[in-house]
Chains A and B, each alone.
Chain A
Amino acid sequence: MKVLSLFRRQSSAPVARERLQVLLAHERAVIGGRSDLVSVLREEILAVIAKHVSVDREKIRVKMDRDGSVATLEVDIEIRAPSSELALSA
């Protein structure tokens, strides 16, 4: 079997399918008039957090990703040092 598979090229259809799924997930979000979705989310999440704790606008990362059938929204916010403030807001 292994000798046989050496001569057979890897199937290309699954690659095509995977590439299309990733690309279209992105394009549907962008062309569907929601090209600013990530930046809107970023601003609104920031506003909510900033009400309670002081955050550095430069230290925020918002990322949307898709892996198979699951889409993930990743928000990474670094909160400023003073621990007293953190305790207060909690």
Chain B
Amino acid sequence: MAKVVVVTSGKGGVGKTTSTAALGAALAQTGQNVVVVDFDVGLRNLDLVMGAERRVVYDLINVVQGDAKLAQALIRDKRLDNLSILPASQTRDKDALTEDGVARVMGELREKFDWVICDSPAGIERGATLAMRHADLAVVVTNPEVSSVRDSDRIIGLLDSKTEKAEKGERMDKHLLLTRYDAGRAQRGEMLNVEDVLEILSIPLLGIIPESEEVLRASNMGSPVTLSNVNCAPSRAYMDAARRLMGETLPVTIPPERRGLFSKFFARRAA
């Protein structure tokens, strides 16, 4: 039975696309058959973050409108053959996505894959509500910062009202993915800590992704971070989050960044 996951946040720039790529790859690395779908029509970027930007021929809109078959638009990842990407269109706008068309494509994807991970556009407009519409589960990406937490609260409200599950009176499964977390700053009271965000949003925690240089390095190289450096702190956090999505119960830890003795010494002093 396929699971459809929407990665959403309301606010832009918090790490939806990065997290979609990393979670998708992490699930595929455990042997699951995964597709990542870019719903950000007009501003596609998942292809770029995944390093597939030069292989896009057809896109989601072409499939939704019946101009291409799903198999023609799916791009298989070069590193993992059980990971595919369905890119968004760069030239069209979100109005080209019809509700029926999206429903049909999601149905086809459910038959082909174990996991369908939908990368939502920012905002609360039609693009975002279409991306969440067919989800079984939502990953709410949040930074420990006031505007991001506020927007996540708003998105949680939409997940509970504008999705197919909500309309059927079922409960939408929502999980918090806290990204760009700096444990040191949170401990010093300079940043909202995990408990603050959890108390305010009151949804269960899927994982904490530490702020790390490795994330930018990975997107520079066109690779999900879990594939470019499997042992770095954010990769370990994403791998754990993926295992939690598969139903494993793991204690949530904040993987420390491995640092040299020198910087460690100074970090201690600064704290």
Cβ-defined contact, B190 with A12, below 8 A: yes
Give chain A residues whose Cβ lies under 8 Å from the Cβ of B192.
Answer: 13, 16-17
Interface residues of A in 1-24 (CB under 8 A from B): 11-14, 16-17, 19-21, 23-24
Give chain B residues whose Cβ lies under 8 Å from the Cβ of A17.
Answer: 192, 196, 200
Cβ-defined contact, B157 with A31, below 8 A: yes
User: Contacts A13-B190, A20-B150, A23-B150 hold; do A32 and B196 have CB atoms under 8 A apart?
Assistant: no
Give chain B residues whose Cβ lies under 8 Å from the Cβ of A19.
Answer: 146
Count residues of A near B (Cβ-Cβ below 8 Å): 15
B189 in the interface, Cβ–Cβ < 8 Å?
yes
A65 in the interface, Cβ–Cβ < 8 Å?
no
A61 in the interface, Cβ–Cβ < 8 Å?
no
Determine how close the nearest CB of chain A comes to the CB of B59; give it in whole angstroms. 33
Interface residues of B in 115-157 (CB under 8 A from A): 145-146, 149-150, 153-154, 157
B258 in the interface, Cβ–Cβ < 8 Å?
no
Cβ-defined contact, A31 with B154, below 8 A: yes
The contact of B149 among A14, A20, A28, A31, by CB within 8 Å, is: A20
Give chain A residues whose Cβ lies under 8 Å from the Cβ of B145.
Answer: 16
The contact of A27 among B153, B188, B189, B190, by CB within 8 Å, is: B153
* Alpha-carbon distance between A23 and B200 when the two chains are bound, in angstroms: 11
B193 in the interface, Cβ–Cβ < 8 Å?
yes
- By Cβ-Cβ distance, the 8 closest A-B pairs, closest first, are A11-B189, A17-B196, A13-B189, A16-B146, A24-B153, A13-B192, A16-B192, A20-B200
Q: List 21 A-B contacts (CB under 8 A).
A: A11-B188, A11-B189, A11-B190, A12-B189, A12-B190, A13-B186, A13-B190, A13-B193, A14-B189, A16-B145, A16-B196, A19-B146, A20-B149, A20-B200, A21-B200, A24-B150, A24-B200, A27-B153, A27-B154, A28-B157, A31-B154
